[in-house]
Structure 1
Amino acid sequence: MKICIINGPNLNLLGKREPEIYGSQTFKDYLKKLQGKYANIEVSYFQSNIEGELIDRLHEVGFSYDGIILNAGAYTHTSIGLGDAVKGIKTPVVEVHVSNIMAREDFRHISYISPNAKGCIFGFGLEGYDLAIESLLK
């Protein structure tokens, strides 16, 4: 099984940015734990702060991988293009957010990803990625 985790803007700052919201662990360290926990699965990772690069990556893996975990960051709430990319691929996508987006600013309550995703997980910190993998395994 092949799963690709795709993280959007500012998620490269996990562990540094607003630790009261996002925690103090870097995604790089967390990814090592995930890959160890799911050693029988190929878990690849891509992060970009550029919307078009995220769309390109979805297109690259969206017909050959078994699952995609997408945390589009702030693009979740603004990018019709990312929503269309998720809709246009065959691979199931689980939308993940570290924070509880429904408990934050009103503009974060809108997602252009959700209508095209297999499911959505938010508010469980980095553990949301574990939950997403588990959902793709079922």
Structure 2
Amino acid sequence: MVARIMVLNGPNLNFLGIREPHIYGATTLGEIEASCAEAAKLLGVSLSFHQSNIEGELVSLIQSAHGSADAIIINPAAFSFTSIALIDALKIFGGPKIEVHISNIHARDELHRHSITSSASTAVICGLGPYGYVAAIIAAVQRLGRLPEAVPAALHGLRPSSQA
């Protein structure tokens, strides 16, 4: 069975490339989606990609992942710092949950330093720019134990050892 990964993006990420390029860069969300699709194809996984400015829609998407996705990658954006609802929804999901932030939130102003949604995440990637999404896809596939043989040699070191 092909691993299924759901990528979720929170508020204002639809304005990437325009919004505060000195923090988030010039890459658009569409370009990030295209690079994620390319990585998913290379890794042999299926990918669904979503963005919403509405907290309740993100909660519903997380709930819909139960039974239809094996891993969630989420950039909660501003909801990272405020959303108990996202935390509760993420806790319900049983697979890997990888939180992504384009900027290094730990080096930002006090308002943007502490993600409360991280408490419900398996792992957090921040500060890698748009590449953080690709890193999260690779990490999710690794967490699922499904790095296929077609992975380039450079990534073979990420495969868990079969020897204990």
After TM superposition, the score normalised by the length of structure 2 is 0.80
Question: Shift of the alpha carbon at 1:31?
Answer: 1.3
What residue number does 1:9 align with?
Answer: 11
- Give unpaired runs (5+ residues) of structure 2: 143-164
Which 4+ stretches in 1 moved above 6 angstroms?
Answer: none
CA deviations 1:29-76 (Å, max 9, x no partner) are 221122123212111111000000000000001333111100000100
Tell which structure's C-alpha radius of gyration is larger.
2
- Give unpaired runs (5+ residues) of structure 1: none
CA–CA distance in 1 between the matches of 2:39 and 2:120?
28
Please state if 1:35 is matched with 2:37.
Answer: yes
Report the AA paired with residue 91 of structure 2.
K
* CA 63–111 in structure 1, closer or farther in 2 if over 3 Å, else same: farther
What residue number does 1:101 align with?
Answer: 105
Report the AA paired with residue 60 of structure 1.
S
What residue number does 1:72 align with?
Answer: 76
Please state if 1:135 is matched with 2:139.
Answer: yes
User: Secondary structure of the residue that 1:38 maps to in structure 2?
Assistant: helix
After TM superposition, the score normalised by the length of structure 1 is 0.95
2:72–2:97 Cα contact (<8 Å) kept: yes
CA deviations 1:88-131 (Å, max 9, x no partner) are 22122100000110111112222221111110000110111011
Identity of aligned residues (%): 41
CA–CA distance in 2 between the matches of 1:32 and 1:76?
24
CA–CA distance in 2 between the matches of 1:41 and 1:71?
20
User: Secondary structure of the residue that 2:18 maps to in structure 1?
Assistant: coil
